Amino acid sequence: MANLHCIVVTPEETAIEEEIDFVTLPLDDGEIGIAPQHSPLIGRLGFGEMRLGTGDSAQRYYVDGGFVQVSDDVVSILTNRFLAAADLDAKLIAEQLETARSEPANTVEMMEIRDRAVSQARAQLRMAQRT
Amino acid sequence: MAKARALDKRRKSVRNIRKITRTMELIATARFKKAMDRATAATAYTARITQLVKDLATTGLEVSHPLLEGREQTKRSVLLVLTANRGLCGGYNSAALRLAIEKRQELLELSESLQLYVSGKRGINGFRFRKIEIAESFTHFDDQPRFDEVELLANRYMNAYVTGQIDRLDVVHTQFISTARQQAVAETLLPLDSLGGDDDGDSDNTARESMYEFLPSAESILQEVVPTSFKVKLFKCFLDAAVSEQISRMVAMKSATENADKMIKDLSMQYNRARQGQITGELLELMGGVEALDG
């Protein structure tokens, strides 16, 4: 069976470039799993957990929004921040969540901005608590 | 002996200065390589974003986003100036500062109020010296600006723009054109004029049917692409500035070292001449003395 070639790029570096069997990504509206020979796809990523499956084991990472592009068994992931799940600091994130929640939201735009920050912090917190 | 010794002393101090400039050159070279690597890594990201935008364009989607819309009247504008924390890098800081002051004048005429944000101690001091008020200053962006830090700033500007607190954002930074050429430039980042930078005008692409499936939809992806490309653009400004700073310092220190070399050579020649003259004088005196005794 053909393998997937997975490339994770952040603005600072190419974080991961390796052969994998399977990848699970948090899309904007739910999780998606990508196996080899997936049809070409461009997706918007949400905040959440990404799992790279090689053999029986899986590595867990946090992705912070961005995009995924799949074509010819190459999965390119563009994200702003990319962390191994173990690197998330639950305490720090809880503080971020608090500040995000206490932001004022008087207009529609400001409400959108706040909601985004809150959901981002929540996704991080969920992951941090699970490890 | 007095003159020869004075020359020797000067030569010694020039030698010491040369050692320092030489070391600074080497450090700048190493830092430049590192900064350059980071800039290249960032290019990989921008290239992919550009590709993504191109793929999106094949769907014939109407591009509209709050960040792309210009304002009818520019009331509050923001100017961000990127300079270095340290000096001794040739004309790097002064060029950026000069352009920033010009741009500031221009913006003041255009808009009612202007907020000035400055990164780098040199720029802060430059504006303070001219008694120009700075809204906020940053000194933590060093030769390796981190995306997290830049993103915080980008988010602030983006939110301010979307909520109508600012109407325009301009950035003055030094653009890295090649290793031999860097130039201070002023760019308007908000409203964004294009996505992902270089549109090479691949018109043949538009005719082709897009082979991609868009999840959840092309519109939704576009909503995300616009802020991302703004962030990346701002980050690129910071990276460019960092690379240019190091290379300017490298060039400045290189020419300083060369200059010191030349000075050491000249001083050595003068010193040798003075010493020789002294010896000749002493010999003549000695011979005169001997002759006087004989006579």
> Between residues B204 and A87, which one has the greater pLDDT?
A87
pLDDT of residue B11: 95
Mean pLDDT score of chain B: 88
> Between residues A83 and B274, which one has the greater pLDDT?
B274
For residues A113 and A95, membership in a common domain is answered with yes
Domains in chain B, CATH or no CATH each: 2-24+255-294 (1.10.287.80), 31-250 (3.40.1380.10)
pLDDT tens digit sequence for B94-130: 999 999 999 999 999 988 889 999 999 999 999 999 9
Q: A41, B45: Cβ pair inside 8 Å? A: no
Q: Which residues of B touch A (CB under 8 A)?
A: 38, 41-42, 44-45, 48-49, 51-52, 55-56, 66, 146-148, 151, 159, 162-164, 211-216, 220-221, 223-225, 228, 231-232, 235
Asked if the model's pLDDT at residue A104 lies above 70, the reply is yes
For residues A63 and A97, membership in a common domain is answered with no
Alpha-helical runs (H) found in B111-196: 121-129, 147-162
The CATH number that applies at residue A74 is: 2.60.15.10
Q: Which residues contact B8 (CB under 8 A, 6 or more apart)?
A: B271
For residues A97 and A74, membership in a common domain is answered with no
- Over pLDDT 90: what percentage of chain B? 58
pLDDT of residue B17: 96
pLDDT of residue B112: 87
Q: Which residues contact B157 (CB under 8 A, 6 or more apart)?
A: B78, B166, B169, B189, B190, B234
- Report d(CA A113, CA B5) in Å as an integer: 72
pLDDT of residue A55: 80
Asked if the model's pLDDT at residue B207 lies above 90, the reply is no
For residues A68 and A107, membership in a common domain is answered with no
Of A12, A42, A76, the CB nearest to B212: A42
Mutate which of A7, A9, A12, A76 to test chain B, going by most B C-beta atoms within 10 A? A12
Of B48, B162, B216, the CB nearest to A78: B48
Q: B163, A107: Cβ pair inside 8 Å? A: yes
Query: Which structure tokens are listed for B278?
Result: 């002294």
> Between residues B207 and A130, which one has the greater pLDDT?
A130
For residues A31 and A20, membership in a common domain is answered with yes
pLDDT tens digit sequence for B7-19: 999 999 999 999 9
pLDDT tens digit sequence for A5-14: 999 998 888 8
For residues A68 and A115, membership in a common domain is answered with no
Which structural domain, as residue segments, surrounds residue A27? 4-85
- Calculate mean pLDDT across residues B220-225: 84
Q: A13, B41: Cβ pair inside 8 Å? A: yes
Q: A40, B212: Cβ pair inside 8 Å? A: yes
> Between residues B205 and A16, which one has the greater pLDDT?
A16
> Between residues B44 and B270, which one has the greater pLDDT?
B270
For residues A35 and A76, membership in a common domain is answered with yes
Name the band, by pLDDT with cuts 50, 70 and 90, for residue B194: low
Distance from the Cα of A78 to chain B's closest Cα (Å) equals 7
For residues A104 and A62, membership in a common domain is answered with no
- Report d(CA A52, CA B124) in Å as an integer: 46
For residues A13 and A24, membership in a common domain is answered with yes
For residues A32 and A64, membership in a common domain is answered with yes
Domain count, chain A: 2
> Taking CB atoms and an 8 Å cutoff, what residues of chain A touch B51?
69
Distance from the Cα of A42 to chain B's closest Cα (Å) equals 5
Asked if the model's pLDDT at residue B203 lies above 70, the reply is no
Q: Which stretch of A91-100, B76-85, B245-254 has the lowest confidence by average pLDDT?
A: A91-100
For residues A71 and A105, membership in a common domain is answered with no
Q: Which range, A44-58, B183-197, B259-273, has the best average confidence (pLDDT)?
A: B259-273
pLDDT of residue B246: 94
For residues A37 and A95, membership in a common domain is answered with no
pLDDT tens digit sequence for B142-170: 888 888 899 989 999 998 998 888 999 99
Asked if the model's pLDDT at residue B22 lies above 90, the reply is yes
Provide ipTM, 2 decimals. Answer: 0.82
Of B147, B214, B225, the CB nearest to A10: B147
CA distances from B36 to A118, B33, B119 (A): 35, 5, 20
Name the band, by pLDDT with cuts 50, 70 and 90, for residue B217: confident
pLDDT of residue B68: 83
Asked if the model's pLDDT at residue A75 lies above 80, the reply is yes
Q: Long-range contacts for A28-32 (Cβ within 8 Å, ≥24 apart)? A: A28/B215, A28/B216, A28/B220, A28/B224, A29/B215, A29/B216, A32/B215
Beta-carbon pairs below 8 A across chains A and B? 93
pLDDT tens digit sequence for A21-36: 989 999 988 899 999 9
Nearest to A11 by CA among B232, B175, B149: B232
Distance from the Cα of B147 to chain A's closest Cα (Å) equals 7
- Over pLDDT 90: what percentage of chain A? 21
